[in-house]
Amino acid sequence: MSTFAILTSGGDSPGMNCAIRAFTRTLIFSGHKVYGVKKGYEGLIAGDFIKLKASSVGNILQRGGTFLQSSRSEEFKDKKFRKIAYDKLKESNIDGLAVIGGDGSFKGAYALWEDFKFPVIGIPGTIDNDISGTDYTIGHDTAVHTAVDAVDKIRDTAFSHDRVFLIEVMGRRSSSIAIKTALCSGAENVVLPNQEVDYQDLVQSIKRGESRGKKGSIFIVAEGAREGRSYDIQKNLQAKYGISSRVCILGHIQRGGSPSPHDRLIATEMGFLAAESFLKFDEPKVIRQKNGQISTASFSECLANDDGIDFEHIEVIKKISI
Ligand code: F6P
């Protein structure tokens, strides 16, 4: 019998609980012990572990967030603290650690392997869908659902008042939520993170709509490096082009809520494969979805920098919003 642990790290995302549940029950089914680590790497350093029974992960499938809680740990970037965490894992006779999170969390997990050869498995969980090596990260679908639902509601006002709306969605480096939300809500244009705003293009979109009698327009803005960039765009549209607009920042409502069936399914498959991968562990792996299949990839593939901008979909948004 072996003992394994699981933690969630970085921004929470809907479906993380489904992955914890599948991981825990798969290992208990095979006769192993499982610990949950509270509050991500902070809890790992503190040795804050709770023994999980099959019933401990009951009734969490439908809940958003992570019942283990999460953190963005600065300390874990320092080898001194990773050593403390490693000692805590050893003291509890833990043989392997599964980490659900984004690329920052994966860097931490891989460092634990590189420093101490401690077995780790990564499970991609972030609403941003921005990890290279996997086509999907747990929580993305639910976040897009939430954003599209919100834009549908705002569209009612955009139409009723002939207004231009700048609707800001999450994604510090990732354009994925913005592009999908724009496509699925019929937005007139999309502003990507970390790119200069093309005002001429935005104004043209508004004019194009006006020429066929549509005065309201919806622009989806990816937040980029800083939440609230829509207010700068709003000011410039007014000052340089005399265009009045309203801003709506969707913010953390995109991170919460009950996971969609798609997220429940993928998270369950990923949690299951993570558990199975520990039972035949040879080297650290990340569970990923590639070409519709749940499989494994190396950490190096999943830690490569890749902004992954979906230019094809941007082209579609422009062409069909005429
Ligand atoms: O988890 C990803 C994400 O929601 C990004 O889209 C966003 O930029 C960031 O986290 C916000 O982080 P927090 O509010 O947790 O500091």
Amino acid 263 reads D
Q: What is the position in ligand 1's atom list of the atom closest to the CA of 102?
A: 1
Domain membership of residue 99 (yes or no) is yes
Tell me which residue has its CA closest to atom 10 in ligand 1. Answer: 11
Beta carbon of 168 within 6 Å of any ligand 1 atom: no
Domain membership of residue 239 (yes or no) is yes
Beta carbon of 255 within 6 Å of any ligand 1 atom: yes
Domain membership of residue 313 (yes or no) is no
Compute and round to an integer the Cα radius of gyration of the chain.
22
Please indicate, yes or no, whether residues 30 and 79 belong to a single structural domain of this protein.
yes
Q: What is the position in ligand 1's atom list of the atom closest to the CA of 254?
A: 4
Q: What is the pLDDT along the chain (322 residues), one digit of tens a residue?
A: 999 999 999 999 999 999 999 999 999 999 999 999 999 999 999 999 999 999 999 999 999 999 999 999 999 999 999 999 999 999 999 999 999 999 999 999 999 999 999 999 999 999 999 999 999 999 999 999 999 999 999 999 999 999 999 999 999 889 999 999 999 999 999 999 878 999 999 999 999 888 888 888 999 999 988 889 999 999 999 999 999 999 999 999 999 999 999 999 999 999 999 999 999 999 999 999 999 999 999 999 999 876 567 778 888 887 887 7
Helix H or strand E segment including 275: helix 261-279
Please indicate, yes or no, whether residues 226 and 274 belong to a single structural domain of this protein.
no
Beta carbon of 170 within 6 Å of any ligand 1 atom: yes
Rounded to the nearest whole angstrom, what is the distance from the C-alpha of residue 224 to the centroid of ligand 1?
10
Please indicate, yes or no, whether residues 33 and 23 belong to a single structural domain of this protein.
yes
pLDDT computed for residue 293 by the predictor: 98
What does the block give as tokens for 115? 């420093």
Rounded to the nearest whole angstrom, what is the distance from the C-alpha of residue 26 to the centroid of ligand 1?
30
**CA-wise closest residue to 7 among 17, 294, 140:** 17
Q: What is the position in ligand 1's atom list of the atom closest to the CA of 223?
A: 8
Please indicate, yes or no, whether residues 44 and 147 belong to a single structural domain of this protein.
no
What's the domain range around 235?
Answer: 140-256
pLDDT computed for residue 195 by the predictor: 84
Tell me which residue has its CA closest to atom 1 in ligand 1. Answer: 11
Please indicate, yes or no, whether residues 132 and 12 belong to a single structural domain of this protein.
yes
The rounded distance, in Å, linking the Cα atoms of 260 and 127 is 12
- What are the angstrom distances between the C-alpha of 282 and each of 1, 96, 278, 298? 17, 12, 8, 12
Tell me which residue has its CA closest to atom 5 in ligand 1. Answer: 171
Q: Are 155 and 185 in contact (CB under 8 A)?
A: yes
Domain membership of residue 170 (yes or no) is yes
Provide CB contacts within 8 A for 320, sequence distance 6+.
none
The rounded distance, in Å, linking the Cα atoms of 22 and 28 is 10
Amino acid 311 reads F
Domain membership of residue 269 (yes or no) is yes
Amino acid 45 reads I
Domain membership of residue 293 (yes or no) is yes
Please indicate, yes or no, whether residues 155 and 216 belong to a single structural domain of this protein.
yes
Beta carbon of 202 within 6 Å of any ligand 1 atom: no
Please indicate, yes or no, whether residues 227 and 298 belong to a single structural domain of this protein.
no
**CA-wise closest residue to 237 among 203, 209, 210, 208:** 203
Probe residue for ligand 1, chosen from 8, 170, 176 as the CB with the greatest number of ligand atoms within 8 Å: 170
The rounded distance, in Å, linking the Cα atoms of 71 and 232 is 30
The rounded distance, in Å, linking the Cα atoms of 205 and 157 is 19
Please indicate, yes or no, whether residues 157 and 130 belong to a single structural domain of this protein.
no
Please indicate, yes or no, whether residues 129 and 144 belong to a single structural domain of this protein.
no
Rounded to the nearest whole angstrom, what is the distance from the C-alpha of residue 133 to the centroid of ligand 1?
21
Domain membership of residue 83 (yes or no) is yes
Amino acid 179 reads I
What does the block give as tokens for 304? 């490569």
Q: At how many degrees (to 10) do helices 176-185 and 140-160 cross?
A: 50
Domain count, the chain: 2
Q: Which residues of 263-291 are buried (b: 16+ CB within 10 A; e: fewer)?
A: bbebbbbbbbbbbbbbeeeeebbbbbbee
Beta carbon of 130 within 6 Å of any ligand 1 atom: no
CATH code for the domain of 194: 3.40.50.460
Q: Are 61 and 264 in contact (CB under 8 A)?
A: yes
- Give the position of tokens 């089914």: 29
Tell me which residue has its CA closest to atom 2 in ligand 1. Answer: 11
Please indicate, yes or no, whether residues 10 and 149 belong to a single structural domain of this protein.
no
Beta carbon of 171 within 6 Å of any ligand 1 atom: yes
pLDDT computed for residue 306 by the predictor: 66
Beta carbon of 172 within 6 Å of any ligand 1 atom: yes
Rounded to the nearest whole angstrom, what is the distance from the C-alpha of residue 11 to the centroid of ligand 1?
6
Please indicate, yes or no, whether residues 73 and 147 belong to a single structural domain of this protein.
no
Domain membership of residue 321 (yes or no) is no
Please indicate, yes or no, whether residues 30 and 132 belong to a single structural domain of this protein.
yes
CATH code for the domain of 77: 3.40.50.450
Beta carbon of 43 within 6 Å of any ligand 1 atom: no
Beta carbon of 126 within 6 Å of any ligand 1 atom: yes
Residues annotated as catalytic (active site), given as ranges: 128
